[in-house]
Each structure stands twice: as structure tokens, then as C-alpha cells.
Amino acid sequence: RFWGAMTEVKREVFGQMPQEEGGGVVEKFILKSDSVKVEILSLGCIIATLETKGRDGEFSDVVLGFDTLEGYTKQHPFFGAVVGRVANRIAKGRFTVDRKYYQLFLNNGPNSLHGGARGFDKVLWSPQVLPNGVCFFRVSPDGEEGYPGDLKVWVTYTLSGGELAINYRAQTNKTTPINLTNHAYFNLAGQGSWDIYDHEISIEADSYLPVDNTKIPTGEVATPGFDPRQPVELGKHLQKFHLDGFDHNFCLQQAEGQRLVARACHPPTGRAMEVHTTQPGIQFYTGNNLDGSLKGKGAVAYCKHSAFCLETQNWPDAVNKPHFPNALLRPGEEYNHTTWLVFSAA
């Protein structure tokens, strides 16, 4: 790692929230190193832009999103946002904690997805500028979206050379499920490129979670019909196995501390991204629900399979599956996870 070059941090106004959303100024924080430039919004801690160098030394923006605030205040599939209080799906939006029953809003068929109707992605966070990044803070009040306890949350982005670190911390005064991740959609060819079929992906896992037809894990931990550790060219792989795409949690080795869990590369440009995390799972999603109806940056229509997500997180519906990794945060404990995205060009 190259510590010589400093990270620049700038802040500017990005827009004003509509009155019906409570108004408020949305700021944009620009972190810049010699090889990466990332722009993060105080709305939903959204990564709005992430520019990284290709083999030719030219910068390209590799995340999907919108040019203006208006795009982010309308319905969109969580582009670049931090999702919570619980990322991914909770079956029937129900769970029991300390013999008390909780019912959440159902916003994904029969299930609750990514925190509910107005999750962490749709609210303004309080920013604090750091020497090499920005820390966002909010309190999710007791009963917000049906969840128990006042939850204090800190999300910190720091940039060092080609490495963007995202740290999530939380404390609660009542036992609550929690599972935080960032939902950035990547295309290493540059956002707005037609598809991701020429990307090579590998995931450091030997098992995954099969799901039912509402995308809830069945409870089985299964071995996939291929070795995810071996890089596959995505288009050929989907064709060979007649897949509509991926939207699955891969089970990572249960270990404390940072480990390399996934790698994506785009041979034509030489761009590569490594994902390191402390989390027990990673949701690999290939933008199956993008259908061209959303116009993003530069008025480009985002079509099916035009981006992928590698969301580091706990296993989906863990709060209802006792044999899955623990999903509960109790008073006096601290939730503390970090994910590192490392960008390079070969």
C-alpha cells in the first residue's frame, strides 16, 4: 500500500430534499487519491460516483447512479446506498426477539427488504469530515420501520490510494436485528456500458444459500454446481448454466478479521476490484431487475445485467434462522464491521 500520497477531501452542496421528505440540504463529499475519486452523498451515505483508472491511465466512473438529487429521491433500486436497519430480506417481515413479536412493513412481495419503506438509504445523515474521508451519523429511533430500540449508527468512508474502506458501527438500547451493507452497482467497463458479460468474477466461498421463489433462504447451506473460487467469465457462465443471473448469498469462511472474499476484473480495460471484509456473507447480484426503464448518469438507460453488486453482509433472514450467524445486537455490545474495496489496473 502506498501511503505517500494524501487524500483530498472536499464538500459541496448537492441539492435540497423535497419538502414532503422533510427538506434539508444534501451535501456531496469528494474524496480523491492519485488513483480513485469517489463522491458520497449525505442522503443514504450514497456512493454517487466512483472513478478509477484503467490500464490506459484514464479515469472512468464505475458505479450506476444519477447526475442530480432528483434521481435519488424517486424510486430506484438502492443505487450506491447504505441499506438498513437490516439489509436483504426478512421472511414475511416478521421476527421474535426476547419473546416479543415484531412485524415490519412488507415492501418485497411477502417479505421486508433493505429496511422497509423508508430505510437508511432514504434519510439524511449528519456528516463529519475526516483527514482522509467522511463519517456519517444518525440515530434510528425506537420503532422506526417496526424495529426495536434507539440505534446509533456511524458509517465511515476513508480513501487511501486505491483502497476505499467502509466501516459500520452501531449501538442500541434494546436488542435488535442489524445487518448493514452498501448497495453499489458496479460496471468496471464504465457505468452506462451495455452489460457485464465480459467481466471475470471469483468469490472465496465453497457454499451458498439456495432460496425459495420469494428469494428467502430455505435454510439449507449448499455446494454450488461450480467452484466460485475459479474466475468465470460472467456471460459464458450464465449461458452454460442457463441462469437468469445471480441474486444469492455466498457463505464466507467464518473468521475474525479482514479477508479477501471476492474479485472482479474487466480484461479489456484492465480494471480490477478486490473485496475484503469482516462479514460472514456476500450477496452476489447481477442487476437482474434492471429493465431499461431507469435513466441514469448521462441519460443512459440501465438495462438488465448492466451492473453487478457484491454486498458484504450477514446471511439473509438470519434473524429467523437460528443456525445462521447471529443477527442480533444487544445493549452494551457494539456492531462493528469493515469492508475494503481495492481498485487496481493491470
Instruction: Point out the annotated binding site for beta-D-galactose.
Output: 88-89, 183-185, 247
Choosing from 183, 248, 276, 305, which is the catalytic residue?
183
- Encode 258-280: b = buried (16+ Cβ within 10 Å), e = exposed: eeebbbbbbeebebbbbbbbbbb
Choosing from 51, 144, 145, 311, which is the catalytic residue?
311
Dist CA 166 CA 261 (whole Å):
15
Candidates 129, 160, 138; CA nearest to 35 is 160
Q: For CA atoms 298, 301, 307, 310, give the dihedral sign.
A: positive
Strand order in 126-130's β-sheet?
A: 126-130, 133-140, 151-160, 163-172, 335-345, 271-277, 259-266, 200-203, 232-233
Q: What element of type H or E holds 234? A: helix 234-240
Candidates 306, 289, 320, 99; CA nearest to 190 is 306
311 is catalytic: yes
183 is catalytic: yes
Q: What is the DSSP string of 61-109?
A: E-B---SSHHHHHS--S-TT-EE-SB-SEEGGGEEEETTEEEE----BT
Catalogue the active-site residues: 183, 311
